[in-house]
Structure 1
């Protein structure tokens, strides 16, 4: 059997299903229905998404991208700075675009200070959402003599060590 236009029935059916040549019945159906695209197959947005894509959409919509980028920066510090460097320097704070890195010694702090441009470039390339603009390297904490309930403000005596 063939269609009235001389097209085989199988081709006409295929064209109707693909929407290339709407039939009268299809036009009537569209008039009765209220174009509910949510339930229509083969429409935009109906393709299945992977779990990773869904989670990426959720984190972006929730505004978690910045915090997750900061967490990734801390977790992947050894890959950014190198294994040897990561053993002697740890990121401790990130505020106002400044990443503070605590080093084991002042020598490590000075050497990393000289490599700061390379480290900042790598951080910006890997974690653009984290908002790192510069890195501050600090040495180890020095002991403080100002502690206890009776500590006196000011310089105190200067003849402590004779």
Structure 2
């Protein structure tokens, strides 16, 4: 089909009448051409690059380790994953005897502070004295500057209840005479 040259719209503004119809026809023809080339590409996948060849490319599967490393790097999870590994390997890092009495609780990534809870005040005191050596060991395994400070907390006392169903209203229990 021979295409007619476009004529300028009368009045110099928006196309009207026959000019508007010609513009719509031209747009429809271009859309049909695009759909036609897409159909040809689906029928001829070699030309469209839809099949994999003998050489590796971006569509090949990754080994699980490489995929996880890429995911942690993209999301910025390297430090939390390393610290989580330390919490899982706590007995290997500090030794069995210390691990029986002290356990890591939290890690503050912004402040680079590891919080450790001990089951007795004696172990808490001992771990406070060992904290500088422990920070050095952790930084060797995790990377320099990952842990800046270790906060050691002692045991948590039992929670005091406020009685049961038969509690007198307004009574605070055994502490009500202490001041």
**1:151 shift after superposition:** 7.5
**Partner residue in 2 for 1:59:** 72
2:141 to 123, 126, 131: 126
SS in 2 for 1:131: coil
1:92 to 98, 105, 114: 105
Over 3 Å counting, the alpha-carbon distance change for 1:86 and 1:107 in structure 2 is: same
CA distance in 1, matches of 2:149, 2:102: 16
Matches for 1:1-162 after TM superposition, within 5 Å = 51-95=64-108, 96-128=111-143, 131-143=146-158, 148=162, 157-158=177-178
Listed one character per residue, the Cα deviations across residues 140-161 of structure 1 (whole Å, up to 9, x for unaligned) are 112455x549587xx96337xx
Relative contact order higher in (CA < 8 Å, ≥ 6 apart): 1
TM-score of the pair, normalised by structure 1: 0.57
Segments of structure 1 that go 5 or more residues without pairing to the other structure are 1-38
Over 3 Å counting, the alpha-carbon distance change for 1:107 and 1:51 in structure 2 is: same
> How many residue pairs end up in the alignment?
119
> Greater CA radius of gyration, 1 or 2?
2
Listed one character per residue, the Cα deviations across residues 109-137 of structure 1 (whole Å, up to 9, x for unaligned) are 11111111110111111123893211111
CA distance in 2, matches of 1:97, 1:157: 43
- After the TM superposition, list the runs of 4 or more consecutive aligned residues in structure 1 that deviate by more than 6 angstroms: 39-43
**1:68 shift after superposition:** 1.1
TM-score of the pair, normalised by structure 2: 0.52
